[in-house]
Amino acid sequence: MKKLNFTAALLIAVIGFTACKKNRVDPINDVKTTKDFTQKLGSQQQKFEIKSSELPKTLKLINGTEITIQPNSFTRNGEPVTGNITIEAYEMLTRSAIILSGTNTNHISGAPLISQGFIFVDAKVNGQSVDKYLQKPLNIKMPAKGQPYTQIWEGVEQVGEANQMAWQAPVGANGQNQQREVKAIGDTFGFDFGMLGWVNCDIFYNSSAPKTTVRVTVLNNPGEMATFRGFTGETFVFFCADGDNVVAQLYTADGPNKVKSYDDSMPIGSVGKLISFSIKDGKYYFAKKSVTISANMNESLTLVQTNEATVQAEITALN
């Protein structure tokens, strides 16, 4: 009887293991779209569980950003938050992290910015986000990477009618522009930020050069042009400047398989690379071209089918 019970138990265990193995999602084979790609290889969520009674508390993100939260900072629907709080954060401090995440360094005017890194911060209670504007600001420290100064920006995810990302001067709860410059202390930018969401350390790129509009046609395009983080569409187009962390996304429709920069926003004479990548139905496509931006520039990129490792390596090489 004991032998039979053991055999039965073993059989059940084997069946259970086989079922679990069959249902397990293999992340390597699960990438079917550009959205899957950005979620797999882009900046990963960093989560912290804290208690309101523990504040003030400094959270250290994996790439060097520090976020200090003060007591009585959070409200939800105007009411003070107490008890358990979940902090969710993302870091995008390199060009590859920005591109792999499907984000960009576009100012809301369309002018490209040089990024010294940006983050996203949210706070939740019982799975629900607290109020965006804080009663006491976050104190944020980000790596300055040898840069003497920066400006602080707020990220917006809705530009006009498009679900696209861009950066603007922070706007406070009173509706006032809070744009300011921050000087590095040592190798760190330290500043207060009075809201949750996207926070960026950027300066304008090549701002004194005359500007033009850049148009790019994507040949052999398997899908539609992608929106922020690949939430819709499959195909991204970026201009990456040589020597500076500039990731200017071109996403304004300008015809079939064609996008353009914001009008009169791209600095003439700037040298860099145009890149495009797309993932659709589990197939990968990539294209790149070295360019110098010229007046009324029209370029084309031809996507070539490749694989995930090649797309990742090409983007990582842009750092």
**Coarse DSSP helix, strand, coil percentages of the chain, rounded to the nearest 5 percent:** 15, 45, 40
Q: Average model confidence (pLDDT) for the chain?
A: 90
pLDDT at 5 exceeding the cut of 60? no
- pLDDT tens-digit map of 226-283: 999 999 999 999 999 999 999 999 999 999 999 999 999 999 999 999 999 999 999 9
pLDDT at 30 exceeding the cut of 50? yes
Q: What is the pLDDT of residue 310?
A: 97
Residue 67 burial by Cβ neighbours in a 10 Å radius (0-12, 13-18, 19+): buried
- pLDDT tens-digit map of 84-98: 999 999 999 999 999
42-204 classified as CATH 2.60.220: yes
* CATH of region 211-316: 2.60.40
Nearest Cα neighbor of 197 from 150, 152, 156 is 156
Say what the pTM is: 0.87
**Domain ranges within the chain, ordered by starting residue:** 42-204, 211-316
pLDDT confidence band for 13 (50 / 70 / 90): very low
**Averaged over 31-57, what is the pLDDT?**
96
178: Cβ contacts below 8 Å, ≥ 6 apart: 169, 170, 171, 172, 194
pLDDT at 64 exceeding the cut of 60? yes
Q: What is the pLDDT of residue 15?
A: 38
Give dist(CA 245, CA 91) in Å, integer: 15
| The residue type at 252 | T
In angstroms, the Cα distances linking 201 to 26, 65, 142, 158, 232 are 36, 12, 8, 20, 27
Give dist(CA 93, CA 200) in Å, integer: 10
Query: 297-302 and 214-219: which strand pairing?
Result: parallel
Give dist(CA 268, CA 179) in Å, integer: 27
DSSP state at residue 92: E
DSSP string, 240-258: EETTS--EEE--EE-STTE
pLDDT at 7 exceeding the cut of 80? no
Give dist(CA 102, CA 120) in Å, integer: 14
> CB 130: neighbour CB atoms within 10 A?
20
pLDDT at 79 exceeding the cut of 70? yes
